[in-house]
Amino acid sequence: MKHLWLLLLGVGLALNPGISWGQVVTPAIDPARPSKLAAASSWRFGTSVAMATQFGGQKTDQQKVPDHNFGSSGLLVIQPSAITIELASNGSDDLAVWDATSDLLYPSSQNESSGSIAVRGEGRVSVGLGGISRAKESRGIFRQQSGFGGSFGFRLGEGFFGAVGMNRITEKVAAVEDKQWNEMLGGLALVYGDPDSSMFRLEGSLVSSPLVAGGTGLETIHHKTWEQNADLELLWSRWYLSAGSTTTKTFPALVREGDQHLTRIRYGLGYRKLSFSLIFYRTLADEQLGSKMYKERGYGATLGFGFL
Amino acid sequence: MASDWIKRGLVLASLMAAGGSLSAQVVVPALDPTQPTLSAGAAGWREGDVVGSSYSDHSGSRKVGDLEVIKYTGGRLTGLVGVQFSTLAVELSSTGDRPNTKPGTGFDHPVTLKRDRQRASFSVLGSDFANLGLRTETDSKVQWMSATAVQVKTKLDKTAGDLSVKIGDSFYAGGGYAKVKEKSDLTVDNNWTETMAGVGLRFGAPGGSRFRVEVGWINAGKAVQSAYLTKAQAVHPATDTQLASLELEISGLLFSASSAVEEENVTLIDPVSGQSSGVTRNSSRGGVLWVPKEGMVLGFAFGNEKVSQLYTETFSDFEVKLGYLF
């Protein structure tokens, strides 16, 4: 058993990026999806290990990137008692990012690792601490972000959950002054049922990040963003169905920029029981700045093993 | 100009020596067991042995008028051990500040480069009625003052005695007296006294629902020592500090809020504009913590601080806490 764990962890962490739709209030029924707030991981259903990968194509009106691997991710959850430890890694070395101003796609790489620890109290409250490290490279600018955060969540009645938290992020880019900002997260969720048979989960959450600008160069700017997430999952006799959306508004920092709206939709279908899950996803993303459009169409899969 | 900023810097250094993360814990310890107490007598009322740590990340700026002259960033690491024997309680804590701000060419503002504090508190416990405490504290600081004083070391040694009395089941009152000695590379040695007093209420038992409120006062006397040979005159102005702390714990989930206002009885004159100013420091904190009766303690806190004098400094910080209650 010990060797199986190490193997699965090794595969998961080596694969890197992919399906990393973070959960703010409660963990997804799909155990492969990481928690954005440490407090959410307290509500997981036991120890698990999972991995995910995603493929797809990207295009604008002028450019097209054929289907390729967006990236992969790995997740390890250790929940021996009221304490939950979650380690996650995701990234991509072969992703194109859209520069809305020039309407061009640029090669990019993104890698993220995170760890958290949370304590659940009397099945009613959860308090967690987390740390995160991100590395992003695009257009010759290498951004190294690190941060830590705290969060707390609560459960009212049988299945009503809430959570709020904050991550304090520091960004280092060569030759410019370090930037710091606070990322605020919060949300509400309804969760009912048994993760080994039938279950229902509905979550809505918000993530906001402020503008930090030390100049007019791209490397000196962290854009203000406002992200809304909605996630609906159903487990019916272990058959899994889900639909979710993430809408991100990126506010302009410079006169030459405009508001950007990115909408990501995902649909999931699969099988899940406590000890095993296999879920397939279809993902659609559209981003808009004025009349300029960016489109992303993808397919993904997650694989999870539970050890309750 | 540089010497003016040096004087202002020393005044601020004196003020900050009394500060740090101030929370009213003069007579009864916070329900947050990872917080160091302000007096040994209060530490004696701890309700179990604890090992605690915290890390905070801060950012801020100094403004002269509307002009931002310094940006601050940095981190602070704190460690704490509190243990109780049959009639003796011991609390040891250490705090290290590591600012990132580095003075550059043409810089003429004092900047703290490094700061370390160690505290040791010993309290004799008297039949659940009174604690008699002894506390020692060392506060070492390295500051950049000017292009000719780039590594100025200042060290404060504080020795304090205090008493905290419990009246009934929930009411606490007490006070203390401290002798402070200051050594600096720039100025002659100085010393002054501090008195503190407080009253507090604490209801509830560990692991259940609890409530605590405390207010406290700290007063430090004025002390002036004349210049001697190569060392400048040492001045420590009189300071008044008011502290308040409020905590509510519901089934192990602790919400806390605290504030501190420090006023320095001094009038500073801007050498350029001639404008006069006092020195005031306002700080507030709020936090959320999981505190079981026994086991892992973890949580986080936010803080804000404003120093108003000839310039204005504002800071904000975010702190994560991790500990274990035995």
How confident is the model over B225-246, as pLDDT tens digits?
Answer: 998 888 889 999 999 999 999 9
Q: Are A26 and A40 in contact (CB under 8 A)?
A: yes
Q: Containing domain of residue A87, as a range?
A: 2-307
Residue ranges of chain B whose CB lies within 8 Å of a chain A CB: 55, 57, 59, 71, 73, 100, 251-253, 288-290, 292, 295-296, 298-300, 302, 318, 320, 322
Spell out which residues of chain B touch residue A117, defining contact as CB-CB under 8 Å.
Answer: 298, 322
**pLDDT score recorded for residue A179:** 87
Q: Are A209 and A183 in contact (CB under 8 A)?
A: yes
Which residue shows structure tokens 């790489």?
A109
**pLDDT score recorded for residue B252:** 86
Dump pLDDT digits (tens) for B293-322.
Answer: 889 999 999 999 999 988 899 999 999 999
**pLDDT score recorded for residue B16:** 39
Q: For each of the domains in chain B, give its residue range(s) and CATH number, in order of start.
A: 2-325 (2.40.160.40)
Cβ B298–A117 below 8 Å, yes or no? yes
Long-range pairs of B221-226 with CB within 8 A, sequence gap ≥ 24: B221/B192, B221/B193, B221/B194, B222/B192, B222/B265, B223/B190, B223/B191, B223/B192, B224/B190, B225/B187, B225/B188, B225/B189, B225/B190, B226/B188
**pLDDT score recorded for residue A252:** 84
Dump pLDDT digits (tens) for A135-148.
Answer: 988 888 899 999 99
* Confidence band for A260, pLDDT divided at 50, 70 and 90: confident
Residue B324's DSSP bridge partners are: B51, B296
Domain count along chain A = 1
Which of the listed ranges A192-196, A285-289, B11-15, B267-271 does the model predict with the highest average pLDDT?
A: A192-196
**CA distance readout (Å), A123 to A191, B251, B254, B324:** 14, 11, 16, 20
Give yes or no for residue B18 having a pLDDT over 60: no
Give yes or no for residue B15 having a pLDDT over 80: no
Dump pLDDT digits (tens) for A58-85.
Answer: 998 888 888 888 889 999 999 998 899 9
Dump pLDDT digits (tens) for B111-155.
Answer: 889 999 999 999 998 888 899 999 999 999 999 888 888 889 999
Determine the average pLDDT of the residues in B153-172: 94
d(CA B313, CA B12): 11
Interface of A with B in 109-128 (CB under 8 A): 117, 119, 121-122, 124-125, 127-128
**CA distance readout (Å), B326 to B3, B33, B55, B82, B124:** 51, 11, 21, 10, 20
Give yes or no for residue A202 having a pLDDT over 90: yes
Site from A41, A168, A170 to mutate, B interface, most B CB atoms within 10 angstroms: A168
Determine the average pLDDT of the residues in A163-175: 91
**pLDDT score recorded for residue B195:** 96
Complex ipTM tops 0.95: no
**pLDDT score recorded for residue B203:** 94
Q: Are A96 and A106 in contact (CB under 8 A)?
A: yes
Q: Which residue of B has its CA nearest to A182?
A: B318
Which of the listed ranges A237-251, B14-28, B98-112, B139-153 does the model predict with the highest average pLDDT?
A: A237-251
Burial of B117 (0-12, 13-18, 19+ CB in 10 A): buried
* Confidence band for B105, pLDDT divided at 50, 70 and 90: low
A123 to chain B, minimum CA–CA distance in Å? Answer: 11
CA-closest candidate to residue B107, choices B62, B154, B57: B62
CATH number of the domain encompassing residue A158: 2.40.160.60
**pLDDT score recorded for residue B223:** 92
* Confidence band for B5, pLDDT divided at 50, 70 and 90: very low
Q: Are A114 and A106 in contact (CB under 8 A)?
A: no
**pLDDT score recorded for residue B102:** 76
Give yes or no for residue A218 having a pLDDT over 80: no
Q: Which residue of B has its CA nearest to A130?
A: B320
Determine the average pLDDT of the residues in A235-243: 96
CA-closest candidate to residue A55, choices A298, A302, A232: A298
CA-closest candidate to residue B263, choices B306, B213, B224: B306
**pLDDT score recorded for residue B110:** 77
Dump pLDDT digits (tens) for A14-67.
Answer: 333 344 466 899 999 999 999 999 999 999 999 999 999 999 999 988 888 888
Interface of A with B in 135-174 (CB under 8 A): 148-152, 154, 166, 168, 170
Output the average pLDDT for chain B. 87
Determine the average pLDDT of the residues in B175-185: 95
Determine the average pLDDT of the residues in B8-19: 40
Q: Which residue of B has its CA nearest to A154?
A: B253
